[in-house]
Amino acid sequence: MIKRFLISVLIVAVAGVYVIFSDTIIEPIAHPRYTKITAQGKALSPWQGPWACVLDHQHNLLWEVKTDDESIHDGYWTYSWYDHGLGKANFGDCYFEDARCDTQDLIRHTNQQALCGQNNWRLPTEYELASLIQPPKRPGQPYIAYDYFAHIKKGDYWTSKAKVKLQQQFAHLKQGAKAVNFHSGEVVSLPYRNAAFVILVSDITGTYSHTQLSSRDTSTTQ
Amino acid sequence: MRRSIFILLHTAAIFAITLSLLSGFRIATLTKPYLLTIAALLPSGQVHNLHLLSASLLLSLSVYYLYFRMSIGRVTSQSRYHRVVTWLGHVSLTICLISGLLNYFDLTPEHIVSLHYYSAVAIVAYLLLHSWVYIMQFGCKAFKKILLMSSKHVPYKLLAALSLCTGVLFFFINSLTHTLNITPISTQVLMEIDGLANEPQWQNAHTFIIDTANGANFANGHTQVQIKALSNQHETFFLFRWADPTKSLQHLPLTKTSQGWKVKENGFYLFDEQSYYEDKFAVMLSNSCDIGADGTSHLGKKPFADKPANWHGKGYHASLDGKVRDLWHWKAVRTNDMVLADDNYIGPLAEPLSGQRRYKAGYQTDGKESGAYVMNWQWYSPSSITPKRLPTHSGNDDKPVLPWFGSQPYHQSKDIYPIGTHLSSVLYRSNRFEGDRADVRAKGHWHDGFWTLELVRQNQTQSKYDVALNNDTCIWVSAFDSSQIAHTRHQRAIKLRYSL
């Protein structure tokens, strides 16, 4: 009888230990291409935030992350394409300029701010920006990794490719710039005067501190 | 032969009771969080089917056992102790079967909603007093006595009959639905979606009443839902009315503390907020009517081996049969001012996203062209947050939705609010939803302890994420009282019946 009792107690104990140690740990899985970076240049794990930039391991670039906080990086602001006399100045809409906005304004402000420790922000090339295109993972989302590039709109985003011959309804304007449309995942040519969105990019220079990017800060939790 | 029949019945009963208890306790984890401590021992996935199947077997066995005992009498001799314990087992099992059937048919009176659960606990007690004591007394011989019989003595005809009865019972019970008769109206009739239901057509509409149970914060977890429906050739109008003594419009409110702004919450970090959340109402639609929310309920912390676990341990909704279930999700704060219900759906398992902490399996929103509500924090953290906007004057700091025109972007210099100040966490950044997600117009109105919700949608929307409204459509309804996911539920689907 005692032996049977001890065996049954043992069975209950084994079940108890199994219950205690079988809990599923939920952990993030690193993205194969992107890493979140804080405004101060620290790397975060996938569920940490807030993040201001995304490190693109494929192209060794740092991408600006749009926001919805009405800062200069707000995703709702639009810009006409303009670069030191080429293009059309101040034909977009934003709140941070007295006049209206163009791409040069955002680049200037972002470099002054030294976003993510970088001061070489620029418009992406057509190749760089088009490389972000990927089919949406959820209905109605733009053609981009929306979990890293939040607040990207389903619209046109300027590239640095200018002096492009315009076709069809824009032919009379002669020249414009290339843009990537994240609603359709296509590259289009637009007049400089169009109010389009912008996501800036920065080359990670040799002097940039990679140790900052490789360190995993766990102090910020979601 | 009597002994063989007894062994067959006893073995089948062990199997059915074990399966019923394990699947039943898994279902009970939705409302009894303490059961999550033994969740590792419970099955996960589509356990509602398992529960109904084992209950069908148990019911078949019980009926046959009653006949067997009445016609043949006692097979085994028992001590007085075991006779008393067996009597306890029979009573518990009878109560459990009857209360389970009442639950399934949505007929359980409000104050005995938990009877099924407690009778199941009594069965566990019975098993200990019965089986464990026998094992203590006889050791392995007890198993030989109740499990072994020669193959030539197996009552195959009885085994086949019981299997057949179980299968028939399972499919019969699973096929039963409620019926909601929809009153036809002319396309000329103007219905205003205002939550007031003061159009005369509502007075003439058929009223269907269903008890829903097991929701957080409702008295005994229960609320009764009255449903009416009207339809013309193009649209169907629904009127839902349910008791909710508290009008909950505080949706994760922000509060100023000595350490800064914090989100008031009780479970939100695990995506199971049950205190500081708006009231909600959900309607699921499908063109099939099966148990377990049409097979979309997959319970457990990690019901899908190759997908992430959920934080609350309760489960997911997903359609694994390739069909889409429609889900209308009215929210008293976030969508009511838009005069919309959030048009969502339950589809196949979504691909997990590296950057998203909450995986939602098959529960997703329809796509939208524009429009949004946003949360009034720059980044959520349980310790502190920074609001996106602050009110420009004091009249706007206690509104359920912080108005855009009446607030300004957050700046430290403007954050002069005293400790204890409350602030809405919901902002309408732009217009109401437009596109697929805005297919369902809805407006709720709370008065004297009742929500009244008027809702309308086109019978055909052309969206691949919507389910057409016709005589093949079944619906399920759920009320949420200040809770994020802990909604009430009913078992049988409600089939729509149009007379057009």
- Give the mean model confidence (pLDDT) for residues A67-85: 95
Percent helix, strand and coil across chain A, each rounded to 5? Answer: 25, 25, 55
Q: Is A221 touching B (CB cutoff 8 A)?
A: yes
- Could you give the count of Cα atoms lying within 13 Å of B470 in the half-sphere of its Cβ? 8
Interface of A with B in 32-91 (CB under 8 A): 34, 36, 46-47, 49-50, 67-70
CB contact under 8 A, B388 and A23: no
pLDDT at B406: 86
Which member of A4, A29, A221 has the closest CB to residue B135?
A4
Q: pLDDT below 50 — which residues of chain B? A: none
Q: How far is CA B149 from CA B10, B131, B252, B356, in A?
A: 12, 19, 62, 56
| Chain B residues within 8 A of A28 when measuring between CB atoms | 354, 357
CB contact under 8 A, B351 and A8: no
Tell me the per-residue pLDDT of B333-362, one tens digit each, with 9 for 90 and over. 999 999 999 999 999 999 999 999 999 999
| Chain B residues within 8 A of A22 when measuring between CB atoms | 40
pLDDT at B75: 66
CB contact under 8 A, B351 and A137: yes
Residue B428: CB atoms within 10 A of its CB come to 17
CA angle A208, A211, A215 (to 5 degrees): 135
Assigned fold of B178-244+279-372+430-498: Immunoglobulin-like (2.60.40)
pLDDT at B392: 87
CA angle B45, B48, B54 (to 5 degrees): 115
Tell me the per-residue pLDDT of A158-194, one tens digit each, with 9 for 90 and over. 999 999 999 989 999 999 999 999 999 999 999 999 9
Q: Where in chain B is the domain with CATH 2.60.40.1190?
A: 178-244+279-372+430-498
pLDDT at A29: 93
pLDDT at A222: 39
What pTM was estimated for this model as a whole? 0.92
Which member of A5, A137, A145 has the closest CB to residue B350?
A137
Phi, psi of B285 (to 5 degrees): -125, 140
- Give the mean model confidence (pLDDT) for residues A98-109: 95
CB contact under 8 A, B388 and A29: no
CB contact under 8 A, A140 and B365: yes
Asked whether the predicted pLDDT for residue A218 surpasses 80, the reply is no
Q: How far is B368 from chain A (nearest CA, A)?
A: 6
| Chain A residues within 8 A of B40 when measuring between CB atoms | 18-19, 22-23
Taking alpha carbons only, the member of B211, B167, B213, B275 closest to residue B27 is B213
* B194 close to B243: Cβ distance less than 8 angstroms: no
